[in-house]
Amino acid sequence: MSEVPQSETPLLRMRGITKRFPGVVALQGVSLSLKAGEVLALMGENGAGKSTLMKILGGVQPPDEGEIEIDGKAVAFDGVKDSKGNGIALIHQELMLAPNLDITSNIFLGNEGVKGGLLGPLNRPKMNARATELIARVGLRLPVTIPVSRLTAGQMQMVEIAKALLTKARIIIMDEPTSSLAGAESEQLFKIIRQLKADGIGIVYISHRMQEVMDLADRITILRDGRYVGDLNRADATHDKVVAMMVGRELSNQYFPEKRERTSTEPMLEVKDLIVPGAPDRASFTARKGEILGFAGLIGAGRTELMEAIFGVTPALAGSMKLDGRDYMPHEPRQAIDAGVYLAPEDRKRHGLVLPMSVAQNTSLPNVGSYAAFGWLDRKTEQEVAENGVKRLRTKTPSIKQAVVNLSGGNQQKVVLAKWLAMAPKVLILDEPTRGIDVGAKAEIYRHMADLADQGITILMVSSDMEETIGMSDRVVVMHERRLKGVLERHELSQVAIADLMTGNPEARGSLAPKAAGESNVAAS
């Protein structure tokens, strides 16, 4: 083995990595290699399998198939500790620091290097000195005894890196490190990355931000739908080329219902200058009667937050909305529901369903009070409504008494839909309506969506699935970093047009002037 010159053996090589989850193949034979002192950008759409691949590398999950080699030697990780022992450090998108502990404690957490097990004495002065050294290496000049909760997001990121340096990590994985950083902090991070690179550390850099990737990466590996698409060297990479590789599949039309001409221009929901908590700008758009209005954007683009404001979960701070011509400003979901605005949330299991309860009980939940007399539950009506829902949506369940926890994802989603369809929706907000649902069930849900729109119901569909966005939407609103970036009319819809807007390309087609974001939306076309 030692005849092979060191420089040509990749520091890390992953080959044929396959990972299956119940009902989904998350990764299918993916390969990746990383040299010492190299920055490898890993790119792909939401759900392309980047995070799963990195979790496998970080020892969080074992692969079902495939090999991992470090310095040409095959390794298998039995847990995170094993991966760390092999010099791999994974920095999660949501930082994994204990905010109540100080910098030193966080850097050494789980790695105290103390003899005597859990009762071994901590050598605070020595640890503080070492921590000070480490954070200096990442450009932080702070007392190491202050709690992490008092640091900025950027400083926390540096602490994470310092933590990786403590364990002498040779491979550092960064998952969207700049997603929560301000501009100057990102610059600082890039400086550190270049320095780490010079020290011979290999870095896997996951990001959706094209500009960063172009600046930093030596090479780009692109994944799509859990498969390896290809590598691009920095010299060959262009914005367009990368986007094309990320989204490049042929649109398979087979399971989208044919788009009918929906001509109504009557507004159903008019949103004007809405200030959503946490958003930098006011948001304005109009959804027409009986249209499917898509909302595209990357994860964290603020789409869910906007929908939650419209549904009254986290009320908007200012602005106005009109529903069917009437003023509408919900402060609680109850008010939205009474007005006819319903939300099928992104996280079905957390927000949409009471899992231990039955299909019938979940279906009736928002409306059970209205068919009860003197508070007495009308089980008969409840069962009829549930039976109707099951029949209408063809939900596969042994009975309406079945607990929804036992249903598949697609059927759970149908229960969520049934619960709203049992009432009289004007606006139906569907946040990631087909996430985690298999292809057959998807097609059915698409058909129902089209039917509902034909009945004059307005659907706001948040989707991170490009195919779905284009296949289903009459128009698409694109968001980027919590701002409305543009509205694409039906004839303008294309993967490239959407991807351009959602990665923040300022020259993208359909983009709104940054300041006048309120005005142009309705009229655009």
Partner 1 sequence: MLIALVLMCLALWTSNSDFLGASNVVNTTRQVSMLGIFAIGIAFVIITGGIDLSIGSVVGLTGVIIARVSSTQTGGLGYPLWIGVTVALAAAVVVGVLQGLLITRLKLQPFIVTLGGMLLLRGVSQTIVDGGVISMGDSSLLNLASGGLLHIGRDPLIGWPLVIFGIVAALGAYVLHYTVLGRYIYAIGGNRDAARYSGINVDRVELLTYVISAGTAGIAGICYAAYIGQMSQQVGVAYELYAIAAAVLGGCSLRGGEGTIFGILIGASIMRVIDNGINMFQVQYTDPEGIRKIWRLNPNWNWIIVGAVILVAVILDQVVHMVQAARRLKEAGQPKPVAGPPSGAPPEGAKSPV
Which residues form the interface with partner 1 (CB under 8 A)? Answer: 1, 4, 8-9, 20, 22-23, 62-67, 69, 72-76, 78, 311, 313, 332-334, 336-338, 343, 345, 350-357, 361, 364-366, 368-369, 372, 375-377, 405-406, 419
Closer to partner 1 by Cβ: residue 296 or 459: 459
Q: Tell me which residue has tokens 């990121």.
A: 157
Least separation in angstroms between residue 292's CB and partner 1 is 21
Closer to partner 1 by Cβ: residue 2 or 455: 2
Closer to partner 1 by Cβ: residue 14 or 192: 14
Per 3-state DSSP, what percentage of the chain is helix, strand, and coil (rounded to 5)?
A: 35, 25, 40
Least separation in angstroms between residue 408's CB and partner 1 is 8
Least separation in angstroms between residue 337's CB and partner 1 is 4
Least separation in angstroms between residue 2's CB and partner 1 is 12
Q: Could you count the other beta carbons within 10 Å of the beta carbon of residue 441?
A: 21
Q: Are 483 and 279 in contact (CB under 8 A)?
A: yes
Class of residue 342 by CB neighbours under 10 A (exposed 0-12, middle 13-18, buried 19+): buried
Beta bridge mates, 197: none
Q: Are 480 and 451 in contact (CB under 8 A)?
A: no
Q: Could you count the other beta carbons within 10 Å of the beta carbon of residue 79?
A: 12
Dist. CA 102–CA 151, nearest whole Å: 10
Beta bridge mates, 270: 286, 322
Between the CA atoms of 317, 323, 327 and 331, what dihedral angle is there, to the nearest 10 degrees? -40
Least separation in angstroms between residue 310's CB and partner 1 is 13
Task: For helices 495-502 and 239-247, give the axis angle rounded to 10 degrees.
Answer: 120
Closer to partner 1 by Cβ: residue 370 or 525: 370
Closer to partner 1 by Cβ: residue 266 or 438: 438
Least separation in angstroms between residue 69's CB and partner 1 is 7
Q: Are 336 and 310 in contact (CB under 8 A)?
A: yes
Closer to partner 1 by Cβ: residue 165 or 415: 415
Least separation in angstroms between residue 465's CB and partner 1 is 22
Least separation in angstroms between residue 364's CB and partner 1 is 8
Tell me the DSSP string of 168-213: T-SEEEEESTTTT--HHHHHHHHHHHHHHHHTT-EEEEE-S-HHHH
State residue 315 phi and psi, 5-degree precision: -55, 150
> Residues 6 or more apart from 21 whose CB is under 8 A from it?
none
Dist. CA 409–CA 390, nearest whole Å: 15
- Enter the DSSP assignment of 358: B
Closer to partner 1 by Cβ: residue 332 or 454: 332
Least separation in angstroms between residue 106's CB and partner 1 is 26
Using only C-alpha atoms, what is the Rg of the chain?
Answer: 25
Dist. CA 503–CA 469, nearest whole Å: 16
Closer to partner 1 by Cβ: residue 257 or 333: 333
Class of residue 117 by CB neighbours under 10 A (exposed 0-12, middle 13-18, buried 19+): exposed
Least separation in angstroms between residue 352's CB and partner 1 is 6
Closer to partner 1 by Cβ: residue 114 or 365: 365
Least separation in angstroms between residue 217's CB and partner 1 is 24
Least separation in angstroms between residue 411's CB and partner 1 is 12
Q: Are 235 and 228 in contact (CB under 8 A)?
A: no
Closer to partner 1 by Cβ: residue 224 or 348: 348
Closer to partner 1 by Cβ: residue 60 or 368: 368
* CA–CA distances in Å: residue 423 to residues 32, 378, 433, 506: 50, 16, 19, 42
Closer to partner 1 by Cβ: residue 68 or 127: 68
